[in-house]
Amino acid sequence: MVYYAVAKGRTVGIFDTWAECQQSVKGFKNALYRKTETKEEAEAFILPEDHHEPAYYVYTDGSCLHNGQKNATAGIGIFFGVEDPRNVSKCIKGKQSNNTAELTALIEAYAILEDDIQKGISITIVSDSEYAIRCASSYGKKCESQGWPDIPNRALVQRAYGLYRDKPNVRFLHIKAHTGKKDPHSIGNAYADQLAGQASGQC
């Protein structure tokens, strides 16, 4: 099996197919990517911070208690920094799941970032949800090309992909969840997870 690692592109991460990789790098100035034989090589390729230099990172997460059940409650967490007034811990109403919470967190982050986006500032949204990132990028593009078939969470996928498509100075970085590591991304993800968990428990 081969992997496609994108260190600099519209979506930073590891992809299983060339089509997904191409969606991230095609038309992106100075894109940096590589085809590797192992996932370890791909992970090593995207780690160095000097490949991409956003002005700042934003961490999003979604949480759903009793996921898949009628009494499910969900919340979102958006983390900018310790005691940053833009941080969000918010309950979301209606029928929810882990996936809808992850997508909603990503969409809400765009709303908070709108002023900086309009200024052309380069921003990276960091998420541990591969589902949300793919819905907002490669999978969303595929669904749009097919006329938006009846897919799960279609309205959220449409909204997330539209934001990604129309705001190219925002990129995504996928990371592993709950690593317990002390690097900035793991810490930011842990804070976002905490904010989301607090919200879902208070719905």
Cα separation of 203 and 175, whole Å?
A: 27
Residues 26 and 92 in one domain: no
* Region 45-71 average pLDDT: 81
**How many structural domains compose the chain?**
2
Domain with 46 in it = 1-52
pLDDT(34) > 80: yes
Q: Please give the pLDDT value at position 14.
A: 87
Residues 193 and 97 in one domain: yes
Tell me the pLDDT band of 7, cut-offs 50, 70 and 90: confident
Q: What are the tens digits of pLDDT across the range 61-74?
A: 999 999 888 888 99
Three-state DSSP class for residue 122: coil
Q: What are the tens digits of pLDDT across the range 79-118?
A: 999 999 999 999 999 899 999 999 999 999 999 999 999 9
CATH of the domain at 46: 3.40.970.10
Answer whether 0.85 is exceeded by the pTM: no
> Do 86 and 80 meet the contact criterion of CB atoms below 8 Å apart?
yes
